[in-house]
């Protein structure tokens, strides 16, 4: 990839920090769009909240940029307390995304890479099947609906302006700095808690942070990426017991699993209002990355075990740092 100037929104987030670091290490000029300066990200540009941005600052940051990687979003919330979650998601994930894209096209940005979600495809894949880019979208919750609507809005912007839009739909992303469900799972493994997941027979696709960032960089420059949607993963699908076992191995802990009927787990999840959480542990969600491999010639650059080792190292170090304070 030739040297380019890239504006990254969401530059201080989990994926953003890693992407900014890789782009900078490869000699690119990175502009970090942040709400306010002081985050430590390189070449910070304070644009405020993207729902009501400082348009002059954002326009100045976009001007002269060759490409945008749009990571800023209202992320998925398991138990959303908003009265109208879809309206809130739309304001950030649809309206603000389209506004940034239109402004980018107006000032001459060539390419716009958008981080969407596999949830646009749906919540799960039964019977050994895998999601592909050809599947009819089937978003199930407000977050997924907003990501699908954002994709459609970006295609419209591309049609009207010529902006080179690329859409990437990852499954669960893990790596150093991970939060939410994956971090909770690591906490349980670190505490050697017995987990009733030994009888679960599912397959889940994941994508390590290293692989996702490498794929986003590929999409910034590859001529065949323009106008396309891609699914991305590590290329190795794991059952929940396999994943827990590998996390435990990376952390130097035993995997304390015991068998419990998955149907009973799912019934308990429904009774306790944890149906979605249990489904993520018991159900399957697989993605086919054949298009990324065939069209872009992309291959995962890091194995699951390598990324889990990096994640475990970060986890152990962060716990050590907290104890030392």
Strand blocks (E) in 103-227: 111-115, 164-169, 172-174, 206-208
Question: What is residue 109's DSSP assignment?
Answer: -
Tell how many helices (H) and how many strands (E) occur in the chain.
12, 9
What's the order of all strands across the beta sheet hosting 29-34?
Answer: 44-46, 29-34, 5-9, 67-70, 111-115, 164-169, 229-231
β partners of residue 204: 238, 285
Please tell me which residue in 89, 143, 174, 315 is annotated as part of the active site.
143
Rounded to the nearest 5 percent, the helix, strand and coil shares of the chain are: 45, 15, 40
Cα separation of 120 and 147, whole Å? 7
Alpha carbon 324 to its chain centroid, in Å, reads: 31
Strand blocks (E) in the chain: 5-9, 29-34, 44-46, 67-70, 111-115, 164-169, 172-174, 206-208, 229-231
**What tokens appear for 45 in the block?**
């540009």
β partners of residue 231: 169
Buried b (16+ CB within 10 A) or exposed e, 227-246: ebbbbbbbbebbbbbbbbbb
**Catalytic site includes residue 315:** no
Q: Which residues are catalytic?
A: 143
């Amino acid at each position: 990839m030739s040297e380019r100037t890239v504006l990254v929104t969401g530059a201080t987030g989990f994926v953003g920090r890693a992407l900014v670091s890789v782009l900078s290490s490869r000699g690119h000029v990175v502009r970090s769009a942040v709400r306010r300066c002081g985050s430590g990200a390189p070449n910070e540009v304070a644009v405020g909240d993207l729902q009501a941005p400082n348009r002059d600052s954002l326009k100045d940051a976009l001007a002269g940029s060759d490409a945008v990687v749009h990571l800023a979003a209202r992320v998925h919330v398991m138990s959303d307390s908003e009265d109208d979650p879809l309206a809130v998601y739309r304001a950030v994930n649809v309206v603000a995304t389209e506004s940034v894209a239109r402004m980018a096209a107006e000032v001459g940005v060539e390419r716009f890479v958008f981080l969407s979600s596999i949830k646009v495809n749906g919540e799960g894949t039964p019977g050994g099947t895998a999601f592909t880019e050809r599947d009819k979208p089937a978003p199930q919750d407000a977050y997924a609906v907003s990501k699908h609507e954002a994709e459609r809005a970006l295609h419209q912007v591309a049609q009207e302006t010529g902006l080179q839009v690329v859409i990437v739909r990852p499954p669960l992303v893990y790596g150093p700095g991970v939060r939410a469900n994956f971090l909770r799972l690591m906490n349980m493994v670190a505490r050697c808690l017995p987990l009733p997941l030994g009888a679960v027979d599912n397959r889940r696709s994941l994508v390590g942070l290293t692989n996702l960032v490498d794929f986003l960089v590929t999409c910034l420059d590859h001529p065949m990426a323009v106008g396309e949607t891609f699914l991305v993963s590590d290329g190795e699908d794991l059952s929940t017991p396999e994943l827990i076992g590998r996390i435990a191995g990376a952390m130097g802990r035993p995997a304390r699993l015991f068998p419990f009927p998955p149907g009973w787990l799912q019934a308990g999840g429904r009774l306790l209002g944890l149906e979605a959480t249990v489904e993520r542990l018991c159900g399957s969600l697989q993605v086919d990355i054949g298009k990324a491999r065939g069209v872009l010639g992309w291959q995962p650059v890091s194995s699951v075990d390598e990324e889990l080792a990096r994640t475990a190292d970060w986890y152990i170090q962060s716990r050590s740092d907290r104890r030392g304070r």
